[in-house]
Amino acid sequence: MIAKTKRVRDYKQLNKELPTLRYVDPEFVYINLTTQRCEEYRLDVKKGDYVKLGQIIGERDGCFFKQPIYSTISGHIEDKVTKIDGTGIEVECITIRNDFKDTYDETITDRPDSVIETMTQKDMVEIVKQKALVGLGGSGFPTYIKLATEEKIDTVVINAIECEPYLSSDYRLIKDQPDEIFNGLKYIMQALNAKQGIIAVKKTKKALIEVLENEMKRFQNLNIKIAKLGDYYPQGWEIETFKNATGIKVPIGELPMKYGIVGFNVSTTESIYEAIKHNLPVTKRFVTVNGDGIKFPQSIRTRVGTSVKDLIKLSDGFIEDADELEIVIGGPMMGSSVKNDDVIITPTTTSVLVFKSVDHKEEPCVRCGSCVYSCPVDIQPVAIMNAVKRNDTEALKQLEAGKCIECGLCAYVCTSKIHVTDYVRKGKSLIR
Amino acid sequence: MKIIEKSAPHLRKPNASVIRMMRDVVIALLPLVVFAIYNHGLTAVWILAAAIGSMVGTEYIYYQIVDHVKRDRTKAEEIKDKITGLNKQINQAKATYQENQNKAEYDETVEKLKAEIRTSKETLKAYKQASTKEENKRFHLFNRQFTLYNYSILVSGIIYGLTVPDSTHVMIVIIGGVVATLLVKMIFGGMGQNIFNIAGFARAFIALGFGAAVGVSNHLPVQDDGTAGATVLGQLAGNPFTETSAFSLWDMFSGIGFPGAIGEASALLILVGALYLFLRKSFDVFVPLVYVGTVFILSTAVMFQQDIGWWYPLTHLFSGGLLFGAVYMATDPITIPVTRPGRIYFAFGLGLLTFVIRLFGQYPEGVVFAILIMNMFVPAIDYAKWSKSKFSKKSSLIFSAIIVLSIVAVMVGASNV
């Protein structure tokens, strides 16, 4: 109501403690050839070709970086199809029929620790770039660019906050593979020559803190600490995490590297470990299937490229008594809703949420100010909304609409159930 | 089953709603209503009924008329309109024919249009036969925007009723309610669009429009001795710095048998309501705190300047509807700024104005006037260029300077009263 709201009901208890279902062998996988950023591609294989797990089958292009495309299973290439990816856009995909043998490509070999110990930043950046690693928290930003920074880095922050409601894929990852995360952090610290590493986790996730503290005993020689941060939204927003974990305030719009700090998502850290140690690209990931529109919510460890239809089938399908459903890829606060269930799991897909669609009755705005009080970047959503209605770009600039991070809190707290975030988004695009 | 696309966020806060907020205000007002009826008997019932009835009724009738004007057009009317349009096209074709004498083209067009008219008329006939009486009814009255469902007009009505002095004629109350609802709420576009506090405007309107007829009676039903005459503020207006003898501070705090507006008397019950609203987070607690705090600080300053007792600031706190206005009228979110600093500036302005009006003016309605005046400054406070949602160093510096200046100004002013 009329007060600062930072808590968002988290709904995680639904499935965070359930065992993870292993579903790593779908009959077909669909590897996306284009992404939101890269709209061009080159395909090196043709229909009928046999590919191995971890083999390069092409290259994405069309933006400021190039990215090899990897096969995530071994099997035969089939047709090109059009599917939807996690951002809700249509992408071209290549179908691979699984031969259920998981034959690894010749290049997928373990690096001995002695070799890794002598590696420099340049070597590691090259591996990370070669393995097409991206920010797995959902951003999809190439990891090698962050890792190749030339600024002096003091602190590496591993973001394990996962502040979005419903999501528990990072939670499951930390519980299952804490060793990989610590090793990944070790490699990052080695590459950047950083003095300390911080793993930021919500203080309410006691189970994770136990696991991490236990694991930390094996990494005594490294300066790693666990930052237990408050349970509120958007704690996982990079700048907020940095501020609370290290006390460094990074101004919005500036690169954190300038301030001697760099952040990686916990899944990204694990993927860096896989790439450097096992020379593997991202082939598997944890996906949360959750929401009130699905019969049996659970976490699934699945192959990248799996169809979401399969995962929904594994979770007993949609509930029957709903007329309209929403499928959200990503968190409920910031994730995008897709137009049908013909979606593929890409490396950046954290979750598949199915909700009963609720049409909130909009009341007139009563200027209660909840959105202003709750905004994490201290702008005034209600004033921006009114400026958008007037088409007043001058006022939008004065109100700093561009600062918005689209966290969705303004619409979440709105007493009139107005979709304030949509208006602010419109405002941002008006002054861009 | 259908899969639909929506934009993020896909979650909403479960217990945040305007209806809950407004209902909370009604609940917080209920003890005051009961107390008003206990204190003033039937008079209070009549005044409250008139205030609520006039506001709710005006809004109801207004929306009836608006909805009638914008009523959903029936299909029959649409077909009729189409036929009129076709006839106009024939006339146009005639005009063109007279200009260019192209007989063949004219015949062709007219024939086509006439055929269309014929089919339209047939559909109209078929439609009229087929449709039920309901659909053909000329007057469709809806209440799509009638805001009684979210309690907003009810809240205004109760607050207005509670601020009216007990000897006011019921007709005056009704006139005030109707005028305020029409002028302040309806013509600005209904709920959420009004610039002035509706209840405050109604109260000010009857005070200025009917003057002496809006007053306090000499005898209250719960009083046995009939000593009460003027209100505390009325007495203070005569001798600003002399303690009144008729009422103790406890009288003012509890409000039993205390003359004045029917619902503003009991500071105790108002504080209970405020506590409820605070616990439910249904109002912004900073506004009443800063408002009352400002009045208290300014009157304390005057107390030191005049060298009189603590009764002076306390009398100001507990009299003249300051608490009532601060808790129920100054917190109406529609007519106050949206940022926290803005709300604090606003509340400070209210306190300053209220105290200045009380000190130098003769009107007992200082609170209401202050609220209406500050309502006018809301767009200026919220102006995009300088409105910020956090205090900056510069703004807090200027604000503290203004506070000090106003304390000095009030003390200098008090020495010249």
A367 touches chain B (CB under 8 A): yes
Q: According to the model, what pLDDT value does residue B123 have?
A: 80
The whole-model pTM stands at 0.86
Beta-carbon separation of A333 and B193 below 8 A: no
The answer to whether residue B229 scores a pLDDT higher than 50 is no
**Mean pLDDT, residues B180-202 taken together:** 91
CATH code given to domain A113-278: 3.40.50.11540
Closest to A134 in 3D by CA, of A202, A222, A260, A38: A38
CA distance A8 to A6: 6
- Torsion (CA) A279, A282, A285, A287 in degrees, nearest 10: 170
Percent of chain B scored above 70 by pLDDT? 83
Q: How many CB atoms lie within 10 A of CB A387?
A: 25
Report the residue from B10, B382, B389 with minimal CB separation from A337.
B10
Per-domain residue ranges of chain A: 12-107+282-356, 113-278, 370-431
**Residue numbers of A between 154 and 183 with CB closer than 8 Å to B:** 165
Chain B interface includes A77 (CB < 8 A): no
> What would the two tokens of residue A257 be?
């590297």
In chain B, which residues have their Cβ closer than 8 Å to the Cβ of A365?
A: 192
**Position B239 confidence tier, pLDDT thresholds 50, 70, 90:** low
Region B271-282: what's the mean pLDDT? 93
Q: What is the pLDDT of residues B19-74, one digit of tens each?
A: 899 999 999 999 999 999 988 888 899 999 999 999 999 998 888 787 767 665 56
Contact between B338 and A382 using a beta-carbon 8 Å cutoff: yes
Please give the Cα distance from B338 to B392 (Å, whole number): 17
- A339 closest CB neighbour out of B3, B284, B387: B3
Distances (CA, A) of B158 to B175, B257, B350: 15, 21, 22
d(CA A123, CA A282): 19
Report the pLDDT value the prediction gives residue B227, as an integer from 0 to 100: 37
Q: Has residue B219 got a pLDDT over 50?
A: no
A40 near A62, Cβ under 8 Å? yes
Domain regions of chain B by residue span: 32-71+146-216, 75-136, 224-259+266-417
ipTM score of the complex? 0.87
C-alpha to C-alpha distance for A349 and B384, rounded to whole angstroms: 39
Q: What backbone phi and psi angles, to 5 degrees, belong to A322?
A: -115, 140
Contact yes or no for B192 and A367 at CB 8 A: yes
Higher pLDDT, B219 or A220: A220
Kindly list the averaged pLDDT for each block of 10 residues, start to end, along chain A of length 432. Answer: 80 78 88 87 90 91 87 92 88 92 89 90 91 85 89 92 90 92 93 92 92 91 91 89 92 89 93 93 92 90 92 91 89 90 91 91 89 93 94 92 92 93 94 85
- Residue B230: pLDDT above 60? no
Q: What confidence category does residue B110 fall into, taking pLDDT thresholds of 50, 70 and 90?
A: confident
Give the pLDDT band (50/70/90) at residue B285.
very high
Residue B215, pLDDT score:
65
User: And the tokens for B347?
Assistant: 């509340």
Quickly state the pLDDT bin for B223 (edges 50, 70, 90). very low
Contact between A301 and A20 under an 8 Å Cβ cutoff? The reply is: yes
Tens of pLDDT, residues B339-367: 999 999 999 999 999 999 888 876 767 88
Across the A:B interface, residue pairs with CB atoms under 8 Å apart total: 167
Q: DSSP string of B199-245? A: HHHHHHHHHHHHGGGS---S--TT-SS----S-HHHHHHHSTTS--S
Q: How far is B274 from chain A (nearest CA, A)?
A: 14
**Confidence (pLDDT) at B228:** 39
- pLDDT-based confidence at residue B88 (cuts at 50, 70, 90): confident
Residues of A in contact with B18 (CB under 8 A): 363, 366, 368, 415-416
> In angstroms, rounded to a whole number, what is the distance separating the alpha carbons of residues B274 and B267?
10
Provide, as residue numbers in chain B, all residues whose Cβ is less than 8 Å from the Cβ of A421: 7-9
- Digit-coded pLDDT (tens) for B294-325: 999 999 999 988 888 888 888 888 876 889 99
Measure CB to CB from residue A367 to each of B17, B280, B334 and give the nearest one.
B334
Q: Shortest CA distance to B385 belongs to which of B376, B395, B393?
A: B395
- Helix (H) or strand (E) holding B113, with range, is helix B103-130
pLDDT for res B221:
44
Terminal alpha carbon distance of chain B: 76
Interchain CB distance below 8 Å, B2 and A323: yes
Residue B332's Cβ-side half-sphere holds a number of Cα atoms within 13 Å equal to 32
Q: Which of A94, A104, A171, A45 is nearest to A344 (CA)?
A: A94
Instruction: Please report, as a single letter, which amino acid is at residue A203.
Output: K
